[in-house]
Structure 1
Amino acid sequence: MRMLVALLALALSAPVLAQSALPPAPYADRQIADPALEKKARALMETIRCLTCQSQSIADSNASMAGDMRSQIRERIMAGEEPEHIRAWLIERYGDWVSYEPTAEPILWPLWAAPLILLGLGLLLLRGRIKRRRRA
């Protein structure tokens, strides 16, 4: 009976053991002392997608991954890096998907052109229908 209770207690405590023992990143939830630098960092954080949540920016997410990314951004801003350089580094590291700002890569041009092409086709169809009704 004791053995069964011990095994049950061990099985129920497994999720507790899975928690990370690492401390949070130093600037995950702490702002930069200089308001101008914090504003630059915050503006960049609002355009970077949380890799864990996927529907929030890292500025709004409570995920530990988002905290690590916020801390890295703040540390790099304090080191003098420009936000666009940091964005390029994040995109290189995690892929284009990490940024909310769309890119203008040639491979994506059909996606940008598709709405215009469909709108043009719709206007041509509408013009044809109007001409047919006038004839009738």
Structure 2
Amino acid sequence: MRLAALLLAALLATPAFAVQPDEILPDPALEARARDISQGLRCLVCRNENIDDSNAQLARDLRLLVRERLAAGDSDAEVVEFVVDRYGEYVLLNPTTGGANLILWIAGPAMLAGGLGLAALYLRRRRTAPDAASAALSDEEQARLAEILKD
């Protein structure tokens, strides 16, 4: 009895997929490919949710489009390329590292390295700068100070 309850709880704890029964392809191999592709495609309505997990109508349309292209004989790369051409690179959950995106991938680490370099330069200059408190006054400065203190 406890084992059955534990198994039921484990089944209910799995993620809820929004894929409807009428969307599933009859060929298990094609369906597995469709699920793999769908995991990398962003729902344009829900933002950071893949299209398999989204209940939005646009996500359903994308799931159907992926399955339609696979059934037509497209490779996985061709399906992804088709969707990206149609909806833009934003549809990818993991954007490519080429083209204009290369700037975005490099910008963060480059700014971190630049900031660390500036901090190191500041600390080095601070360490080698003469200490203002230990600098002795010249004779002229001492005379001027004595004159000021008299008044």
TM-score (norm 2): 0.61
Q: Tell me the equivalent position of 1:125.
A: 118
AA aligned to 2:58 is M
Structure 1 residue runs of 4 or more that deviate by more than 4 Å after TM superposition: none
Of 67, 79, 84, 1:86 maps to: 79
1:39-88 Cα shifts (integer Å, max 9, x gaps): 21101111111122223211111112211211221122223211110111
> Distance between the aligned counterparts of 2:117 and 2:109, measured in 1?
12
The offset of 1:102, in angstroms, is 1.0
- Asked whether 1:77 is paired with 2:70, we answer yes
Secondary structure in 1 aligned to 2:100? Answer: helix
* Matched positions, count: 109
> Distance between the aligned counterparts of 2:48 and 2:101, measured in 1?
22
The offset of 1:112, in angstroms, is 2.1
- Asked whether 1:32 is paired with 2:32, we answer no
Q: Tell me the equivalent position of 1:110.
A: 103
Specify every segment of 5 or more residues in structure 2 that has no aligned partner in the other structure, as ranges: 1-18, 132-151
1:109-132 Cα shifts (integer Å, max 9, x gaps): 322221232122122123224424
Q: Tell me the equivalent position of 1:57.
A: 50
RMSD: 2.1
Moved more, 36-45 or 46-55: 46-55
- Report if aligned partners of 2:35, 2:52 keep a CA contact under 8 Å in 1: yes
AA aligned to 1:61 is S
> Distance between the aligned counterparts of 1:53 and 1:131, measured in 2?
49
Secondary structure in 2 aligned to 1:40? Answer: helix
Specify every segment of 5 or more residues in structure 1 that has no aligned partner in the other structure, as ranges: 1-27
Q: Which has the larger radius of gyration?
A: 2
> Distance between the aligned counterparts of 2:99 and 2:107, measured in 1?
14
Q: Percent identity?
A: 37
Of 55, 59, 63, 1:66 maps to: 59
Which gives a bigger RCO, structure 1 or 2 (Cα 8 Å, sep 6+)? 1
> Distance between the aligned counterparts of 1:110 and 1:133, measured in 2?
33
